[in-house]
């Protein structure tokens, strides 16, 4: 940890470091391009600054070395150097996770890890006591077929999707669900696409951010599941509750 921060400051920052690193891992750009676009260089700068702020100078040096030699060397391939950069970030992520409060810990889902995604999200959904509200602008049957059974019986499930990008398979999946699972209430509503800015899971009032839609989780890039900071979470929940009231029932 950064020795220039007080113990209280480090504790307060630990959950933010954890969240920020996870978000940076999930949004890693293609570093094989040359020259790199400004957005990729900005990403590199943010990672380097965050590692230094955490006091992880050695990991920052490893990350920077991997970047400096990202086109490869006589001894190491470009893939090796890219792995060096990722390894530095994941090692720092592990340190931040151990220091963060348990309530602020989420999950990071590697590419191609469908089962990891199921485990991580199911663990969160299973905590709900009365109500789960999922917002996904690109909702499909995946939410019902793969994840909804993680809820306890009697827990109310609400799904809100966008009017332009909702998958055609959602309505028949909802119809089949209602016919078979009468003790598991589900309601689906459709809102204007432009009004849905996030992928959010709200459980009994607490809000979690999901970096990708359910139907594309970790297929092409890592995904993150993170709790919002309480104040921001309340704002998100309030915004989407208001939107829910004016949304159109799917069936």
Q: Give the domain range for residue 183.
A: 106-249
Whole-structure pTM over 0.95, yes or no?
A: no
Q: Is 221 exposed, middle or buried (0-12, 13-18, 19+ CB in 10 A)?
A: middle
- Could you give the dihedral angle defined by the CA atoms of residues 54, 106, 66 and 3, in that order, rounded to the nearest 10 degrees? 10
Domain identity same for 62 and 138: no
Return the pLDDT at 105: 55
**Residue 171, in any domain of the structure:** yes
**Residue 77, in any domain of the structure:** yes
Domain boundary at 53, 73, 103, which? Answer: 103
Return the pLDDT at 80: 87
Return the pLDDT at 96: 81
Rounded Cα–Cα distance for residues 177 and 78 (Å): 48
Domain identity same for 94 and 117: no
Domain boundary at 58, 88, 103, which? Answer: 103
Do 144 and 184 contact (CB within 8 A), yes or no?
A: no
Domain identity same for 92 and 164: no
Return the pLDDT at 1: 47
Read off the CATH number of the domain in which 239 is found: 3.30.870.10
Residues 6 or more apart in contact with residue 132 via CB below 8 angstroms: 125, 151, 155, 156, 157, 158, 201, 202, 203
pLDDT over 90 at 215, yes or no: no
Dump pLDDT digits (tens) for 36-47: 899 999 999 999
**Residue 56, in any domain of the structure:** yes
Domain boundary at 78, 103, 128, which? Answer: 103
Count structural domains, the chain.
Answer: 2
Pick the residue with more confidence: 79 or 148?
Answer: 148
**Residue 1, in any domain of the structure:** no
Averaged pLDDT, 205-209: 86
Place 63 in a pLDDT band, splitting at 50, 70 and 90. Answer: very high
Averaged pLDDT, 174-199: 94
**Residue 202, in any domain of the structure:** yes
**Residue 189, in any domain of the structure:** yes
pLDDT over 80 at 114, yes or no: no
Whether cis (ω within 30° of 0) applies to the bond prior to 35 is yes
Domain identity same for 132 and 20: no
């Amino acid at each position: 940890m950064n020795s220039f921060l007080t113990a209280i400051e480090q504790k307060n920052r630990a959950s933010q470091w954890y969240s920020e690193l996870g978000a940076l891992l999930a949004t890693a750009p293609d570093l094989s391009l040359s020259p790199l676009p400004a957005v990729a260089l900005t990403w590199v700068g943010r990672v380097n600054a965050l590692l230094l702020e955490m006091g992880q100078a050695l990991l920052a040096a490893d990350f920077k070395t991997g970047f400096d030699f990202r086109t490869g060397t006589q001894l190491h391939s470009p893939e090796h150097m890219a792995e060096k950069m990722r390894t530095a970030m994941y090692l720092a992520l592990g340190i931040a996770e151990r220091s963060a409060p348990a309530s602020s810990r989420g999950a990071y889902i590697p590419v191609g890890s469908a089962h990891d995604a199921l485990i991580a999200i199911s663990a969160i959904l299973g905590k709900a006591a009365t109500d789960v509200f999922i917002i996904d602008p690109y909702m499909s049957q995946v939410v019902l077929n793969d994840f909804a059974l993680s809820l306890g019986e009697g827990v109310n499930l609400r799904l809100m999707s966008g009017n332009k990008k909702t998958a055609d398979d959602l309505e028949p999946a909802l119809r089949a669900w209602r016919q078979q699972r009468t003790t598991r209430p589900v309601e689906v509503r459709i809102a204007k696409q432009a009004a849905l800015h996030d992928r959010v899971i709200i459980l009994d009032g607490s809000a979690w951010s999901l970096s990708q839609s359910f139907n594309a989780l970790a297929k092409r890039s890592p995904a993150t599941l993170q709790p919002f900071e309480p104040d921001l979470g309340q704002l998100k929940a309030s915004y989407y509750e208001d939107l829910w009231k004016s949304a159109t029932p799917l069936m």
